[in-house]
């Protein structure tokens, strides 16, 4: 049985790392991308099946292509 984490968990980890590297707090970044703080928190914790539009908003806020974030999560 594989112990590999689910994609939403890996995406959340990649997004959190990139947000922290950019110097944003979780709350500040959620405000910047006009997303409710609780919703954004669920994304980082991998507790949310993400809508593509939400992922696009996060990627744009991080100034990172969505394909890069997905690739990093796939490799994690």
Average pLDDT of span 12-21: 98
The pLDDT, as a whole number, for residue 44 is 96
Closest to 56 measured CA to CA, from 67, 45, 48, 40: 67
Asked whether residue 8 carries a pLDDT value surpassing 90, the answer given is yes
Question: Are 72 and 14 in contact, with CB atoms under 8 Å apart?
Answer: yes
Enter the pTM of the model: 0.90
The pLDDT, as a whole number, for residue 2 is 55
For domain 7-75, the CATH class is mainly alpha
32-74: pLDDT as tens digits: 999 999 999 999 999 978 899 999 999 999 999 999 999 999 9
């Amino acid at each position: 049985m594989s112990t590999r984490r689910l994609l939403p968990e890996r995406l959340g980890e990649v997004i959190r790392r990139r947000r922290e590297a950019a110097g944003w707090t979780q709350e500040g970044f959620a405000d910047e991308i006009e997303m409710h703080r609780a919703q954004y928190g669920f994304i980082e914790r991998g507790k949310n099946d993400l809508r593509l539009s939400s992922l696009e908003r996060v990627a744009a806020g991080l100034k990172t292509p969505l394909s890069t974030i997905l690739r990093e999560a796939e490799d994690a």
